[in-house]
Structure 1
Amino acid sequence: MTNLVQIRNLTVEATTDSGRWIQILKGITLDVAAGETVAFIGESGSGKTTAAMALLGYARPGCRISGGSVRVDGHDMVTLSEKERAALRGTVVAYVPQSAAAAFNPAATIMDQVIEVTKIHRLMPPDEARRRAVDLFRALSLPDPDGIGDRYPHQVSGGQLQRLAAAMALIGDPKVVIFDEPTTALDVTTQVEVLRAFKAVTAKRRIACVYVSHDLAVVAQIADHIMVLRHGEVQEIGSVDDILTRPKHPYTKELLHAFHPDTGGRVAAAEAFANTAAPLLEINTLSAGYGPPQSNGQPLVLAVKGVSLQVKRGTNLGIIGESGCGKSTLARAIAGILPACKGDIQFNGKELWHSARQRSHEQLRDLQIVFQHADTALNPAKSIEDILGRPLTFYHGLRGKARDARVDALLDMVHLPRALRHRRPAELSGGQKQRVNFARALAAEPKLILCDEITSALDTVVAAAIIDLLKELQRELGLSYIFISHDLSVIEAICDEIIVMYRGQTVETIIPSARQQPQHPYSKLLFSSVPKLDPTWLDTLNIDADRMRVA
C-alpha cells in the first residue's frame, strides 16, 4: 500500500510573549496510505490543527517547523520553497477549513471561488470547471446544485457553506485532503449525508485523508486509524476499534468518558423556578426574515414563521433543527440584531422593541448572544484584553485595575490561561476563540444568554467542562440559557425543554426530564441521526430522509 503521507519526527515551535521559542509539537511520526483516513483527536490546543497544517508546509504566525520531515506524495513540504509549496496546494494536497465563514470572500460568487484553484493552476477550461463543481455540489447533497454557485456566501446557511468549502478543496482532484472539523457547523441530518459523501468521494478517488475532529462519534464513522494528541505529543495511535473499545492511555479514556455530558442538576434547577416564577422571556407569534418588505409587509425571505415560546427564570430552552430551519434567525430576532417583522417579545415583564437600537442600556446588558462563528465574531485587530474589556467599560464603567482584575476572572471562568489576554484571536485555537466569545457575553452579567452553537468548536473534554461551568453559573447567578445546537447530547445535558424547528416553524416540544420520546416524524429523524460510538453505525444506518420530512 502506497503511503501518500510520511511524517517523521515533526517538531513545531512557537514564540512566547517574552520572545522565547517553545515546542508545541514534539516529534510526531505518522504514515497515511492512499484511500486511508487518519483522525487527529485531542483537546483544544493539543496540536491537532498545527500537525495537519504542516502537511501544507504551513505554520501559523509566531510558529515555525523546526525539525523532521513531512513528505506528501514524495515532496518534502518542509524543505520546499514557498513557490514550490504553492504549486502543490490545491492539486496534490488540499485543505477544508474549520470555519467556512472566514474562508469565503463575501464579495465574490460561490462558483467563482470554488473554481478559482482550477484557474490558478490552469487545470481545465472554465466551462469544464463549472460542470465539475456542479457534480461536486450534487455529490455533497447541496440544494439546487445547478444554481447555488450563483449565490454569494451570505445567501447560504452555515452548513451549506461548509460543504461548499469541501467542494472547493476537492475540485483540483488532490491526492491528500486535510479535513479540519468539517462537520462542526452541520446539523445531524446534514452531517450524515456529508459524512457519506466524504467517504464515497475519498474512497472512489483513493484520497489519503487527515481528519481533525473533537467528535469521537464522527471519527468512528469516517476514520481507519486514530492518533490521540495532547500538549503536542502523541498519546496513542491505533485502529478505530482499538481506540474506542480498548484504549490504553488514561487521556484517551478521559476523552471517551467526556463523550456523554452529565445531565445531573438540570431537573433541580428547573424545579426551583419553573412553577413559581413568571416567564423571563415570552415570545408570541414572532416572524422574521431577510430582504426588502413585500406588499404584505413581510420580508422577501420569511425564515421564522409565527414562533411562540417561553423561558422561565433559571431554566434552559434548547432549539434544534437542520441548517436553514430558522434557529439562528430566531436568536437574532430575540436579540434585536435582525428586527422581527411581526409578533411580541416580553422580557423580564417588559415589552422589548424589535430592534436592539431602540432597547435600553439595561435591556441590552440583560440579554446577550454568543455567536456560532468565533472567527467572525471577534475583532482580529484587538487583543483578548481589549475584547473582554470593552463590555466591562460599556456596561459597568470599569477601567484600570478594576477592569484588569475582572478580565482575569472572566478568563478563569472559561478555563483559559490569563497569559492569553495579550494575544489576538488569530493566535488562539478554534476552541479558545469560542471560549473568549462566551466570556465576552458573561462580562455583561446578563440574565439570559442566547447560545448559538457555542460548543460546536470545542473538543469533548472542554465542551463537557463548559457545560459544567454553565450549570455552576446558573446555580450561582440564576442565569437562563437558550441553546441553539445540532449536538443533541449537549442539548439534552443542559436543557429543561427542547423545541424542534423545521422550515421556520416549531413542530414539537420535548421535555427531557419526563423521558419523553419524539413523536413528530421530523423529530424522530433528528434523534435517529445522532452518530454513535460504533464504526458500523453510518454504513448500517437506513433512514428514508425524504419520507421523514415534514410535508
Structure 2
Amino acid sequence: MANLVEIRDLKVEATTDSGRRVEIIKGVSIDVAEGEIVALIGESGSGKTTIALTLMGHARTGCRISGGSVSVDGKDMVTLSERQRAAIRGTEVAYVPQSAAAAFNPASTIMEQVIEVTRIHRLMPPEEARKRAVELFRALSLPNPDTIGNRYPHQVSGGQLQRLAAAMALIGGPKLVIFDEPTTALDVTTQIEVLRAFKSVMRKDRIAGVYVSHDLAVVAQIADRIVVLKGGEVQEVGATADILTDAKHPYTRELLAAFEPRPRAADAVVAEEIRPLLEIEDVIAGYGPLQSDGLPLMRAVQSVSLKVEQGRNLGIIGESGCGKSTLARAIAGILPASAGNIVFDGRELGKSARERTRDQLREMQIVFQYADTALNPAKPIEEILGRPLAFYHGMKGKARDARIDQLLDMVHLPRSVRHRHPAELSGGQKQRVNFARALAAEPKLILCDEITSALDTVVAAAVIELLKELQRELGLSYVFISHDLSVVEAICDEIVVMYGGKKVEQITPAALKAPQHPYSQLLFSSVPKLDPTWLDGLQQDPDLVRSYCRK
C-alpha cells in the first residue's frame, strides 16, 4: 500500500521566554498509508499536535519547522510557499479541532460555514455544496440532516457540533484528515456516537487520518496503528492490537497502566455519624426569565438533593446537558438557585455568591472545565495565583512569592511557569494552574467541573493521586463533575447519576457493575475498553433508553 504521508527527520524549534531556541520535535519520522488512520499518543507536551500541524505546513506562534520534510501526496509542506499551502488546506488536508465551538462563527448559520471551503476554493456550485453537506450530515448520523444546517452553532449540542466540524473538514474531499483530540470534551455516550460516525465516513471514503489523543481506549476504537511520543521523540510504533497487548517500550506500558483501575483505600470504620459538610435540598436552577411561580423558563436542575460529608467525595456524572455544571454553579452561587436550600458547614448559604461572606467564599472553591476562559490571558501566572493569596489571606512580598512556589510544586508544575502567561502553557498545564488557584484559598470543599478532561491519561492519574494526597493532608472534600467514569470511580465515595436535570440514581463505586436505572446502565456500558473490537461489537440503543427516561 502506497504512503500518502511521509514525515522524515522532522525537527521543530520553539523560542523560550529568554529568547533561546530549543528543539521540541527531535528528528521524527512517520508514515501514513492511503486510507490508514494513525494515532499520535503521548502526554501533554509530547509533540502530538505540533507534529500534526506540520501536515498543513503550519507551526504555532513562537515555533518553526527547522529541519526534515513533511510529504503529503508527494508535496513537501515544508518547502511550499504559503500560497501553495493555502490551496491544499481544506481540499487535500483538513483539520478537525478539539473545540468545535471555537471553530464556528456564532453569527453565521451552520450551513454557510460548512460549505465555505467550497466557495473559497471554487470546488462546486453552492447548490451542489449544500446537497453534499446534507449527505455528510446524514452519514455522520446527525439529527434532521435536511434542516440542521439552518441552525446557528449555539442551537446544537456539543456532540452534534463536533460532527458538524467533521462535515466542514470532509466537504472539500480531502485525502487526509487531522483529528486533534475531537472527543475530549464529550460525555461517554456522545463520544461513542461521534466515534462511530467518524469511523464510518473514513472507512467508506477511504480517507487517511491522523488522530491526536491522550486516550488509548478511544484510539483503540479508530486507529490502525499507534505512534507513541514523548519529549518530541518517537518511543514506539506498532499496529493498534500489538501496542495494546504487547507494548515493548516502558513509557507505552506506563500509558497502558494508567488505564487500569486504581485501587481505592478501604473506608475507615466510622464510630459516629459524620456531619455533612454540604447538604442541598430540592434545588432548582436554570436560565431565562422567571415565570409566575418564580422559577426560570429553562429548568436545567430540577429538585435535586444530595450531601457531601467532611473528608469524603461525591461524583456527579451524566451526558452533556443533564445539568451537572449548572448544579455546580448553583452550589457555588455563580448561578443563584431559584428554589431549595444549600447548607454548608452547618450554615445556610445565600443563593448568590454576593450574599455570602468572604470566609464562605474562601471555603468553597470551584475549578472550571475550560482553563482557557477561566484564566486571565493578560496576566502572568504569578499574578493569577497571587490574587487569591492577597484577597483571602492578605499575603504579599516574600510570603506571597514563597506560597506561589509551593502551589506550583503541589500541582507538579515547574516554578519557572510563574513568569509565563496562560497562552504559553499547554492545556494540561493551564488546568493545573486553575487548580492551584483554588488551593490558594485553602478551601474545605472544591467543586471540580471536568478538571481532568484536558489532561493526558498519565498526568490525569497523577493529578488524582495528588488530590487524594491533599485530601489526606488537608481534610479536603471534593464534588467531581465528570464524564470520565474512571476518574469518578477512582476518587469518589458516592456517585450521583443525572439525566434531564434530575438525579436518577445514587450508587457507590462498588455497585458500578450493577446499576439499576436504564440510563445508568447505558452510561456505564459506553466507557471505551482497551480492545479494538469493542466499538464494532457494542450493541445498545441510546434513543430507546432516553425515551424511557423522559417518561
The reply on whether 1:362 has 2:359 as its aligned counterpart is: yes
Post-superposition offset of 1:224: 0.3
Which of 441, 452, 461 matches 1:444?
A: 441
Post-superposition offset of 1:498: 0.5
Match of 2:209 in 1: 209
Match of 2:385 in 1: 388
Post-superposition offset of 1:357: 2.4
Match of 1:37 in 2: 37
| Separation in 1, partners of 2:414, 2:280 | 39
| Alpha-carbon contact 1:25-1:232 (below 8 Å) kept | yes
| Separation in 2, partners of 1:103, 1:439 | 29
Q: Which amino acid aligns with 1:480?
A: S
| Separation in 2, partners of 1:371, 1:440 | 11
Post-superposition offset of 1:201: 0.8
Q: Which amino acid aligns with 1:13?
A: E
Post-superposition offset of 1:242: 1.1
| Alpha-carbon contact 1:162-1:185 (below 8 Å) kept | no
| Alpha-carbon contact 1:283-1:346 (below 8 Å) kept | yes
3-state SS of paired residue (2:260): coil
| Separation in 2, partners of 1:7, 1:497 | 48
Q: Could you tell me the TM-score, scaled by structure 2's length?
A: 0.95
Match of 1:333 in 2: 330
Per-residue CA distance 1:401-432 (angstroms, 9 max, x = gap): 22222221111111111112222222222211
Per-residue CA distance 1:48-89 (angstroms, 9 max, x = gap): 111111111111111111000111222211112222222222
Q: Which runs of 5+ in 2 are unaligned?
A: none
Match of 1:161 in 2: 161
Match of 1:75 in 2: 75
Moved more, 392-401 or 237-246: 392-401
Match of 1:429 in 2: 426
Given the superposition, is the C-alpha separation of residues 262 and 198 from structure 1 closer, same or farther in structure 2, using an over 3 Å criterion? same
| Separation in 2, partners of 1:154, 1:337 | 21
Q: Which amino acid aligns with 2:7?
A: I
Per-residue CA distance 1:255-275 (angstroms, 9 max, x = gap): 11111252322634xx569x5
| Separation in 1, partners of 2:266, 2:390 | 33
| Alpha-carbon contact 1:99-1:375 (below 8 Å) kept | no
Post-superposition offset of 1:346: 1.2
| Separation in 2, partners of 1:102, 1:398 | 37
Moved more, 104-113 or 180-189: 104-113
| TM alignment of 1:218-257, pairs within 5 A | 218-257=218-257
3-state SS of paired residue (2:436): helix
Q: Which amino acid aligns with 2:282?
A: T
3-state SS of paired residue (1:357): helix
| Alpha-carbon contact 1:287-1:307 (below 8 Å) kept | yes
Per-residue CA distance 1:276-310 (angstroms, 9 max, x = gap): 32111111111111222234433232211111111
| Separation in 2, partners of 1:496, 1:109 | 44
Q: Could you tell me the TM-score, scaled by structure 1's length?
A: 0.95
3-state SS of paired residue (2:279): strand
Given the superposition, is the C-alpha separation of residues 219 and 110 from structure 1 closer, same or farther in structure 2, using an over 3 Å criterion? same
| Separation in 1, partners of 2:227, 2:20 | 29
Given the superposition, is the C-alpha separation of residues 134 and 280 from structure 1 closer, same or farther in structure 2, using an over 3 Å criterion? farther
Total equivalences in the alignment: 548
| TM alignment of 1:189-208, pairs within 5 A | 189-208=189-208
Q: Percent identity?
A: 76
| Alpha-carbon contact 2:285-2:299 (below 8 Å) kept | yes
Match of 2:116 in 1: 116
Which of 265, 281, 285 matches 2:282?
A: 285
Q: Which amino acid aligns with 1:116?
A: E
Post-superposition offset of 1:131: 4.2
3-state SS of paired residue (1:44): coil
| Alpha-carbon contact 2:324-2:498 (below 8 Å) kept | yes
Q: Which amino acid aligns with 1:304?
A: V
Which of 460, 463, 472 matches 1:463?
A: 460
| Separation in 2, partners of 1:193, 1:366 | 39
Moved more, 410-419 or 396-405: 396-405
Match of 2:483 in 1: 486
Moved more, 82-91 or 121-130: 121-130
After TM superposition, the runs of 4+ consecutive aligned structure 1 residues lying more than 6 A away are none
Moved more, 376-385 or 117-126: 117-126
Match of 1:372 in 2: 369
Post-superposition offset of 1:490: 0.9
Given the superposition, is the C-alpha separation of residues 446 and 207 from structure 1 closer, same or farther in structure 2, using an over 3 Å criterion? same
3-state SS of paired residue (2:442): coil
Moved more, 515-524 or 21-30: 515-524
Match of 2:89 in 1: 89
| Alpha-carbon contact 2:140-2:201 (below 8 Å) kept | no
Given the superposition, is the C-alpha separation of residues 361 and 194 from structure 1 closer, same or farther in structure 2, using an over 3 Å criterion? same
| Separation in 1, partners of 2:266, 2:464 | 11
| Separation in 2, partners of 1:515, 1:47 | 36
Post-superposition offset of 1:379: 2.1
Q: Which amino acid aligns with 1:238?
A: G
Given the superposition, is the C-alpha separation of residues 305 and 151 from structure 1 closer, same or farther in structure 2, using an over 3 Å criterion? farther
The reply on whether 1:505 has 2:502 as its aligned counterpart is: yes
| Alpha-carbon contact 1:500-1:508 (below 8 Å) kept | yes
| Separation in 2, partners of 1:403, 1:147 | 56
Q: Which amino acid aligns with 1:63?
A: C
| Alpha-carbon contact 1:102-1:375 (below 8 Å) kept | no
Moved more, 382-391 or 217-226: 382-391
| Alpha-carbon contact 1:188-1:322 (below 8 Å) kept | yes
Moved more, 111-120 or 329-338: 111-120
Given the superposition, is the C-alpha separation of residues 236 and 455 from structure 1 closer, same or farther in structure 2, using an over 3 Å criterion? same
The reply on whether 1:299 has 2:296 as its aligned counterpart is: yes
| Separation in 2, partners of 1:463, 1:503 | 28
Post-superposition offset of 1:107: 4.1
Q: Which amino acid aligns with 1:543?
A: Q
| Separation in 1, partners of 2:425, 2:46 | 12
| Alpha-carbon contact 1:160-1:323 (below 8 Å) kept | no
| Separation in 1, partners of 2:404, 2:213 | 30
Q: Which amino acid aligns with 2:118?
A: T
| Separation in 2, partners of 1:516, 1:203 | 33
Per-residue CA distance 1:418-474 (angstroms, 9 max, x = gap): 112222222222211221221121121111111111111111111110000000011
Given the superposition, is the C-alpha separation of residues 546 and 233 from structure 1 closer, same or farther in structure 2, using an over 3 Å criterion? same
The reply on whether 1:412 has 2:413 as its aligned counterpart is: no
Post-superposition offset of 1:188: 1.1
